[in-house]
A and B are shown apart, each in its own frame.
Chain A
Amino acid sequence: MLPPPHLRRTTRSTLTWVLVVLTGLMLTFTLIAVTSGDRRTASLPENLLATVLYPFQNAAGWVTGRVRDVTGGIRELMYLREENARLREQVERLIHLERLNEQLAQENQRLREELGLQDRLPHRLIAAQVIARDPSLWFQAVVINRGARHGVREGLVVVNHQGIVGLVERVTPFTSTVRLMTAGNFEITARNLRNGEFGVVEGQGDGVVVRFPYGGRDAVRQGDVIVTGWFQPEVPEGLYIGAVAEVERGDHDLIPVGVLRPGVDFQHLDLVQVVVPEPPGEEAAQ
């Protein structure tokens, strides 16, 4: 026997909802599965959206920057006297450091000549501004206002005056997504400046570690300076990554692991540079 008409309507309506939700879930899971691979190029919708969002993010970034400048200026005025005294001390210290630096530069030059090494090639830099940040706790990425049209490509390293910020993960015509060094899936080859030991720097979600899979017990010590290694063609060697804050023993107490204190302040990223491993002026020549 058939149920009364009003009940049939309710059943049909519920069935329609269940069907809509199930179809939506299936589509979503398919989309996640399809996009979960290592995607190096942005799809057309992603390019379109990034291009549409670019002026808005740029404008919002500009306003945020100006507001920060003004508040920073006010704060600076308030602490001017204190800062003045501190700066005097810093000047004294810098004069001392400059002398030391000159000595070290001379020594460095001498050692390079002795070893017969070529000076590192200078690289072309593309200045960019951070215009958006990934709000998720899981992925740490920022969007910069330079893209394929400006010469940025996937895999290039992004730095600021403090050191390595991250790697370019995806490029659209006017913007690029940069995976930060602290992100869980970040990896870059590295070298310990003290002993030349090669290792891998890995992001941990909120911190960074450096592993020396082929290193002995002395591969890493607290205070060691870690710079980029030479295995990655898009990443120039010798860029500052960070200093080792703590040493741990990794897998089965065999692999030495250093917990890094990155040079970069990731919470206050503003201006960055994309490093193109080619001599400056190459772009003009092309």
Chain B
Amino acid sequence: MRYWVLAAILGVAFLAQTTVAGFLQIGGVAPNLLQAVVVSYGLLFGSPVGAVAGALVGLLRDVAFGRYIGLSVLSLGAVGWVAGLVERRVYQENPLLPVLGGLLSTFLAEGIHYGVLRLLDPDLVAAAAVSRRVLPGALYTTAVTFLVYRRILRAYGYLRPEPGGVIRSVRRR
């Protein structure tokens, strides 16, 4: 596995997310590039890679914005881990995979955020506002996940050279 390339992609995604993504907002909702990359890593390289990538980029996000440190570690780590659970069970070229991954991961991540924040602050005023934006956010992130996943899938052979670097559907043929 070419871990340094995976790390570099995460770094670029973090910078793009915090600088450019704000200008790509539609109706007040920005795409979640970090989640798209973490889900793609999980789906393509398995739970350990997905979870570690999610936890690392989550830590970066938490420290950079100074909010509850560990919250994004937990949510993105879980997203990466759960996405990785299906890695060996599905055809990785199936276009439905990133679509479902992007959609479900948003609900999982926001659900974890909601649960932990509700524990820390029972009068969570932002909950209503976030609930209104979860669905549009999920759809937007799903579209981005699809594009990111397809791009990483194209580079799969380079990122995970033989013997691991065989796309699931190709191996079964």
- Chain A positions near chain B (C-beta within 8 angstroms): 24-25, 27-32, 34-36, 39, 42, 45-46, 49-50, 53, 56-57, 60-61, 64, 68, 131-139, 141, 143, 169-170, 177, 183-185, 202-207, 267-269
Docked complex Cα distance between A49 and B155 (Å): 30
Total interface residues in chain B, CB < 8 Å? 49
> With contacts defined as CB atoms under 8 Å apart, how many contacts are there between chain A and chain B in the complex?
133
Closest to A133 in B: B22
What residues of chain B lie closer than 8 Å to A49, measured between beta carbons? 60, 63-64
Residue of B15, B29, B129 near A56 (CB, 8 A) is B15
Interface assignment of B71: CB less than 8 Å from any CB of chain A: yes
Q: Which 9 A-B pairs have the closest CB atoms?
A: A205-B129, A184-B126, A205-B126, A31-B70, A206-B129, A132-B18, A60-B19, A32-B70, A133-B22
Closest to B113 in A: A138
| Cα distance A30–B116 in the bound complex, in angstroms | 12
**In the complex, what's the smallest C-beta–C-beta distance from B66 to chain A, in angstroms?**
4
Contact of B70 with A138 in the complex, beta carbons under 8 Å: no
Option from B61, B63, B69 in Cβ contact (under 8 Å) with A135: B61
Asked if B129 and A136 sit within 8 Å, CB to CB, the answer is: no
Are A134 and B130 neighbours in the complex by a CB distance under 8 Å?
A: no
Q: Does B134 contact A (CB under 8 A)?
A: yes
Looking at the assembled complex, report how far the CB atom of A196 sits from the nearest CB atom of chain B, in whole angstroms.
27
B125 touches A46 (CB 8 A): no
Query: Distance (Å) between the CB of B56 and the closest chain A CB?
Result: 12
Distance from B164 Cβ to chain A, minimum over Cβ atoms (Å): 19
- The residue that B116 contacts in the complex, of A32, A135, A202, A268, with Cβ under 8 A, is A32
**Residue of B whose beta carbon sits closest to that of A46:** B63
Structural contact, B68 and A143, CB atoms closer than 8 A: no
The answer on a CB contact under 8 Å between A42 and B66 is yes
Q: Which residues of A contact B92 (CB under 8 A)?
A: none
For residue B172, give the distance in angstroms from its CB to the closest CB of chain A.
Answer: 25
